[in-house]
């Protein structure tokens, strides 16, 4: 079956521009996660949804970052007024249910470059 997909795969934005990154999780997966991976680093948690509810947004670096999952499937990560330090790969992952001991399946990521 289809895995997690993300679009666009690459995005170049001018500083100050708003961007929207899309994630299509595996069908039926309850939990959805967003991570930010800077160059040479491991993925860092941004936010977590269980169905349409955003249960944890403690990792969002500023109020310029906003995520939604209105119907409990597709999710969008929006970054307003992008800054150069926002340049990173943004990874989306989904898991079957909300339990801790569940494998997270990752998408290929969106590489954001802010000029």
Site residues for other proteins per CB under 8 A: 4, 31, 33, 35, 40-45, 48, 55-56, 59, 91, 93, 95, 98-109
Comparison of 14 and 101: residue with beta carbon closer to other proteins: 101
Q: Work out how close the CB of 62 gets to other proteins at its nearest, in angstroms, rounded to a whole number.
A: 18
Comparison of 10 and 81: residue with beta carbon closer to other proteins: 10
Q: Work out how close the CB of 15 gets to other proteins at its nearest, in angstroms, rounded to a whole number.
A: 25
Comparison of 40 and 70: residue with beta carbon closer to other proteins: 40
Q: Of 31, 34, 35, 36, which Cα lies nearest the Cα of 53?
A: 31
Q: Work out how close the CB of 109 gets to other proteins at its nearest, in angstroms, rounded to a whole number.
A: 6
Residues in the chain: 115
Contacts of 10 (CB under 8 A, 6+ apart): 110, 111, 113
Comparison of 59 and 72: residue with beta carbon closer to other proteins: 59
Write phi, then psi, for 36 (nearest 5 degrees).
-115, 130
Q: Work out how close the CB of 66 gets to other proteins at its nearest, in angstroms, rounded to a whole number.
A: 18
Contacts of 40 (CB under 8 A, 6+ apart): none
Find residue 92's DSSP bridge partners. 34
């Amino acid at each position: 079956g289809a895995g997690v997909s993300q679009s666009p795969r690459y995005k170049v934005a001018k500083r100050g521009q708003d961007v929207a990154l899309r994630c299509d999780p595996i069908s039926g997966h309850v939990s959805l996660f967003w991570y930010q991976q800077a160059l040479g680093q491991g993925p860092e948690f941004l936010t977590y949804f269980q169905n349409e509810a955003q249960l944890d947004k403690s990792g969002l670096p500023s109020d310029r970052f906003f995520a939604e999952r209105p119907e409990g499937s597709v999710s969008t990560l929006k970054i307003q007024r992008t800054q150069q330090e926002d340049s990173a790969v943004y990874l989306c992952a989904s898991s079957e249910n909300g339990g801790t001991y569940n494998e997270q399946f990752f998408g290929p990521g969106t590489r954001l470059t802010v000029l």
